[in-house]
Amino acid sequence: MRNTILCLFILTLAVSLFAQSAEDWLWDETEPEEEKLEADFIKVNYDKKDARLAMVMSMLVPGAGQFYADRSAITTYIFPVVEIGMIAGYLYFENSGNDKTKDYERYANGEEITYTLHNGTEITTTRYDRERQASVESHLINFNTADIYEDLFFRLDDNNSQHFYEDIGKYSHYVFGWADWYYTFAANEQGEFMYPNWYPEGGEANDSGWIWTGNYPLYNDPDHGFSTDEQVDKADHRSSPMRKTYIDMRNDAKSEFGKAQIFTFGLALNHIVAGLDAIRVTKSYNRNAITDSGFRMKYYTGIRNQHITPMINLNWTF
């Protein structure tokens, strides 16, 4: 819907600017002096086409104005082909973006996985869980009565909305729900919840400058390169490889939607250029095409039944 409104806005703006800045060039039907002189000696009828109508037709359906003015013009067939290509490209990348969106949503909390705790115990869980997030953030909120982490700071949607899937990858303070972060920094080797080791250390209730910047692992984890005396920054993707994978998947989906948006701009441009070209084709046709127009009546005599008979011949050129 947003892309459609944007395209309509571009078309409207282009038409208004074009009408104001190029009116003389577009609609000037003044005949050159040599054509006027020729018309004084040779009476011809010009079957002129309406450039305004051709422009409107092509801006609505690229190629339609060219077909109306001069169906033999090559651009009569180029603009519809470009239009079809742009629509096909938009649909391809839009559908690809939707498929990738479903993939990262399923990756986050749409499927259950088997997660192995540090002591070897296997548990079944989703990669992201709101309850894990809530249990950890409640401790951070109460850590310091003067810090910035108040209740309003954590506003994760209760439903699987677009904002929910955006927030869990975009903001580091929603990292607590990811399984690999939780079972490294907020649970012991058996997966039992423990109070996280926040840093910097030494925060006090009256210290308004304290802010959470990361965590100490609760146990040594050589597989991930963690030790209990190492400070792991909250933005460090080592703290949650799952979150890093999720962010990459979201970026892939955004890339596909970005490509689809390029094709919407291409569609808008094709309509605008087709409208301008329709004027060119019409003006060229009106300059060069000399035809009879309307009805022509011709009187003559013929012999019918051995008698001279007056006759009328009616021609219609279309």
% of the chain with per-residue pLDDT over 90 = 48
Does some domain include residue 307?
yes
Same domain, 64 and 149: no
The chain-wide mean pLDDT, for the chain, equals 81
Same domain, 152 and 223: yes
Strands (DSSP E) contained in 181-293 are 197-199, 214-216, 232-233
Does some domain include residue 109?
no
Q: Helices then strands (H, E): number in the chain?
A: 10, 7
CA distances from 81 to 84, 266, 267 (A): 5, 13, 11
pLDDT of residue 31: 53
Q: 39: which residues sit within 8 A by CB, 6+ positions away?
A: 31
Same domain, 230 and 274: no
Does some domain include residue 102?
no
Does some domain include residue 72?
yes
pTM of the model: 0.73
Does some domain include residue 21?
yes
Q: How confident is the model at residue 40 (pLDDT cuts 50, 70, 90)?
A: very low
Same domain, 161 and 194: yes
Burial of 157 (C-beta count, 10 Å sphere; 0-12/13-18/19+): middle
% of the chain with per-residue pLDDT over 70 = 70
Residue 36 tokens read as 């006027």
Query: Could you write out the DSSP letters of every residue in 251-277?
Result: HHHHHHHHHHHHHHHHHHHHHHHHHHH
Does some domain include residue 60?
yes
As a whole number, mean pLDDT of residues 228-238 equals 82
Say if CB 193 and CB 187 are below 8 A apart.
yes
Comparing 141-145, 166-170, 226-230, 263-267, the range with the smallest average pLDDT is 141-145
Residue 166 lies in domain: 129-177+179-239
Express each pLDDT in 263-308 by its tens digit.
999 999 999 999 999 999 999 999 876 554 455 656 566 666 666 7
Number of domains the chain contains: 2
Does some domain include residue 271?
yes
Same domain, 133 and 32: no
Same domain, 29 and 91: yes
Same domain, 142 and 68: no
Q: Is the pLDDT of residue 18 over 80?
A: no
Same domain, 152 and 228: yes
pLDDT of residue 234: 80
Does some domain include residue 113?
no
Q: How confident is the model at residue 45 (pLDDT cuts 50, 70, 90)?
A: very low
CA-based R_g, the chain, Å: 37
Same domain, 139 and 227: yes
DSSP-derived letter for residue 32 is P
CA 198, CA 205: separation in Å to the nearest integer?
A: 14
pLDDT of residue 5: 55
Where does a domain end: 239, 256, 273? 239
pLDDT of residue 37: 44
Say if CB 4 and CB 261 are below 8 A apart.
no
Q: Is the pLDDT of residue 111 over 80?
A: yes
Q: How confident is the model at residue 140 (pLDDT cuts 50, 70, 90)?
A: confident
pLDDT of residue 52: 93
Where does a domain end: 201, 222, 239? 239
Same domain, 234 and 275: no
Q: Is the peptide bond before 200 cis (omega within 30 degrees of 0)?
A: yes
Q: How confident is the model at residue 152 (pLDDT cuts 50, 70, 90)?
A: confident
Q: How confident is the model at residue 175 (pLDDT cuts 50, 70, 90)?
A: very high
CA 64, CA 50: separation in Å to the nearest integer?
A: 13
Angle between helix 241-288 and helix 162-170 axes, rounded to 10 deg: 120
Same domain, 224 and 154: yes
pLDDT of residue 147: 59
Q: How confident is the model at residue 150 (pLDDT cuts 50, 70, 90)?
A: confident
Same domain, 134 and 229: yes
